[in-house]
Amino acid sequence: MKTRTTIDLAVGIIMGQSRCSQDEAFALLRSASSTRNIKLREVAAGIVASTGSPPASTHFNR
């Protein structure tokens, strides 16, 4: 669940920065992962971390 939350947050960040749809943002994230040969969750975590936000959590973690 934590990985999915981080990916969703990264997609939201991309949507806000690029003014694109959710599908387009996920495609950009997936493309970055593929091009760099880095797991999608790691690329997403880097994007979330770059905003200075604390690590993502879900209500399942509490």
| Neighbouring residues of 8: CB distance < 8 A, sequence distance ≥ 6 | none
pLDDT of 55 = 66
pLDDT of residue 3: 83
CATH no., domain 2-50:
1.10.10.10
Task: Look at 56 and 21; give whichever has higher pLDDT.
Answer: 21
**Would you state the torsion angle of the CA atoms of residues 15, 21, 27, 31, taken in this order, to the nearest 10 degrees?**
-40
Summarised one tens digit per residue, pLDDT across range 30-62 is: 999 999 999 999 999 999 999 886 666 666 555
Q: Say which residues have a Cβ less than 8 Å from residue 31's Cβ, sequence separation at least 6.
A: none
